[in-house]
Structure 1
Amino acid sequence: MSIWTEIQDIEFKLYYLDANGVKTRVLEAGEGDPLILLHGTGGHIEAYGRNMKELSKHFRVICIDMLGHGYTDKPDRPYGIDSYSDHLLDVIHALGLSKVYLSGESLGGWVAAWFAAEHPEYVWSMVLNTPGNVNNDPKIMAGLRDSTVKAVVEASYENVKKRLEWLMYDKSQVTDELIKIRYKIYTQPEYQKAVYNIVYLQDPEARSQYIWAPSWCNKIQTPTLLAWTDHDPTSTVEAAKPIQEMIPGSELTVIENAGHWPQWEQVKEFNKVLIDFLKQPVK
């Protein structure tokens, strides 16, 4: 099933908006309260292509290419978590929204949490999906940095495929279409330069500025669900416990038989987790 044929029978919009000078690609479907979806490092809106149809029955789903990613503008500066958070705020302002639901995968989950700590007035509740920066093992960071840069600078079908397979528990979920979509994104001349700004956060010194810590996590008052998996290549379920303790009142669930992209591998379960948690009355 193609990403685009999965949404061909629903009304959706693919467009660009001006987020404080940053041309930003947006995929939107549905009506009602807005839910913004944020992808991971090296990702793009197609990462949520399998979720749009079901989620759009319950929310106005807004999926964006984050700063420097996909077909969004790529200003030449290192992308820290604060930069991504600022861009998210600019997107919310550009859309004229006063409050949103948030869900982010990997880097997107890290950004969503930071944003909720800095701008709690904009977030009803959020789901952090296999969030980034949980494991600060230098070997894992170096491996992620090298594989990301290699997939871009030495872009080939096989290198992009290998980078995508790293995300999945079931490698067969890496479709030919997904590889080609990402290959086309990675071979943009401006992306070849931007990748070094994208992997900035894999540098231990840069990363240390945004490490999960009570100093900022304790400021999160938004109802929060941590959605982990049993085969995440970046961290174990046990690694979620300290973060759960840092975020007041947060909950934890585990999606089985999935790697770093549960939204792609376990579509029905992931959608149900989001809908059930975000739709529950705020206490």
Structure 2
Amino acid sequence: MSGPQPPGPTATRPKASATPNLRPVSDTEVRVEYHTIHGYRRAYRIAGSGPALLLIHGIGDNSSTWNEIIPMLAQHYTVIAPDLLGHGRSDKPRADYSVPAFANGMRDLLVVLGINKVTVVGHSLGGGVAMQFCYQFPRFAERLVLVAAGGVTREVNPALRLATLPVVNEILTLLRIPGVMPAVRTATSALVSLPHVPFVPRSISPKNALNDHEDLVRVLGDLADPHASAAFLRTLRAVVDWRGQAVTMLDRCYLTERLPVLFIWGEKDTVIPYEHALIGHAAIPHSELVPFPNAGHFPFHDDPERFVQVVTGFLERTDPVDFDPQNWRELMSTGGVRPEEFVGDEETVEAVLDAIEDERSAT
């Protein structure tokens, strides 16, 4: 069955889902379970019953980031939220932390769980993993939801570029010194609470630059563990270098032709700018885009109930795609990026073309 009809060139704001109750209910049990796959222990949260949703977290984070929304989604769906290898309660070996390897891990876990069809929801790095999963294992993918996703274009917060430098490993060791993390939290809170200075653009004010400070400090605190920090650096260097993101999706976005795709993005995201949402939406003409005007990089934390309404509404009004190997073969044989089908204003379309050219010419 085909995906949803194109919503047009502008960002769409779907009506709230008709689901009667999206608040967590007291008898919703979220379990943390483990499976050993290829010799490594994999942790994941699981709850609910019904069609399967796979929630993939971002770099340095873990599946607990979804805690607010899992009980709401689990009222109508089976929710699986893994800790990526090297993250959370999963093992942290010296291993392959590339985006394709993470996608393999998601496939392997689903096979072990006996699940062969999922809607994939990916946040930040998890968005890049979700896109790669749909590319590598299209038979598993029913829909794709990208939340402030990495892997659209090369641009990324400069702090992540700096974090790829060799000296950062020594800097991260400072987090293990007693008192350092409390000092970081105090200093960050003080910067955020500073009043706005007249004549200073709000775009460079400390409060705006640290819009997601609570979540970012939380992630930073987890990196005090030496195994976690080593896995973080291996993961980061697999996807980002000093020039920005090294892996993008624009050259293969045409393969989503029949796959329902939803972008959810905070307009105040300082980690991966909102402009990436516009570029991704333009490059996938049938996709939907729902902006969260007052949210940063974690829209499901800023407004969890609206986030769940948007996701469940998308699930209810779209049909899961059935993989068609003949269509896939035709797309890969004769397909490719089709600029004439891009949606959006002239500036956005030009940004898509520039990003594709940058990707093809990079060395």
- TM-score past 0.5 threshold: yes
Alignment of 1:57-206 (within 5 A): 57-137=75-155, 139-143=158-162, 145=164, 152-155=172-175, 156-158=180-182, 161=185, 169=211, 171=213, 179=218, 183=221, 185-200=222-237, 201-203=239-241
- SS at 1:154 equivalent: helix
The runs of 5 or more residues in structure 2 that have no matched partner are 1-23, 193-207, 321-363
Q: Distance in 2 between matches of 1:267 and 1:80?
A: 29
How far 1:78 sits from its partner (Å)? 4.6
Alignment of 1:212-223 (within 5 A): 212-214=249-251, 216-220=252-256, 221-223=258-260
- SS at 1:25 equivalent: strand
Residue 5 of structure 2 corresponds to none
How far 1:8 sits from its partner (Å)? 6.5
Alignment of 1:225-240 (within 5 A): 225-240=262-277
Q: Distance in 1 between matches of 2:107 and 2:90?
A: 15
Larger Rg: 2
How far 1:55 sits from its partner (Å)? 0.9
Alignment of 1:3-42 (within 5 A): 9-42=27-60
Residue 323 of structure 2 corresponds to none
- SS at 1:218 equivalent: helix
Closer/same/farther in 2, CA of residues 85 and 121 from structure 1, 3 Å limit: same
Q: Distance in 1 between matches of 2:40 and 2:262?
A: 30
- SS at 1:127 equivalent: strand
Q: Distance in 2 between matches of 1:37 and 1:186?
A: 22
Q: Deviations over 1:127-172 (max 9, x none)?
A: 1000013452473542465798688533242477459x9997365x
Tell me the amino acid that sits aligned with residue 203 of structure 1.
D
**Among residues 282, 300, 311, which one is paired with 1:274 in the alignment?**
311
Q: Distance in 2 between matches of 1:174 and 1:196?
A: 18
TM-score, with length taken from structure 1: 0.82
Tell me the amino acid that sits aligned with residue 181 of structure 2.
Y
Q: Distance in 2 between matches of 1:83 and 1:95?
A: 19
Tell me the amino acid that sits aligned with residue 306 of structure 2.
E
How far 1:33 sits from its partner (Å)? 1.0
Q: Please tell me the root mean square deviation across aligned C-alpha atoms, in Å.
A: 3.2
Percent identity over paired residues: 26
Higher RCO structure, 1 or 2 (CA under 8 Å, sep 6+)? 2
> Is the contact made by 1:229 and 1:260 (CA closer than 8 Å) also made in structure 2?
yes
Residue 359 of structure 2 corresponds to none
> Is the contact made by 2:25 and 2:72 (CA closer than 8 Å) also made in structure 1?
no
Q: Distance in 1 between matches of 2:120 and 2:209?
A: 21
Q: Distance in 1 between matches of 2:267 and 2:55?
A: 22
TM-score, with length taken from structure 2: 0.66
Closer/same/farther in 2, CA of residues 63 and 160 from structure 1, 3 Å limit: farther
Q: Distance in 2 between matches of 1:100 and 1:253?
A: 21
Q: Deviations over 1:92-134 (max 9, x none)?
A: 1111111011101100111101111221110111210000134
Q: Deviations over 1:56-83 (max 9, x none)?
A: 1121111111121112122313521111
> Is the contact made by 1:101 and 1:126 (CA closer than 8 Å) also made in structure 2?
yes
Q: Distance in 2 between matches of 1:170 and 1:194?
A: 22
The runs of 5 or more residues in structure 1 that have no matched partner are 1-5
- SS at 2:139 equivalent: helix
Residue 262 of structure 1 corresponds to 299
- SS at 1:61 equivalent: strand
Residue 211 of structure 1 corresponds to 248
> Is the contact made by 1:26 and 1:63 (CA closer than 8 Å) also made in structure 2?
yes
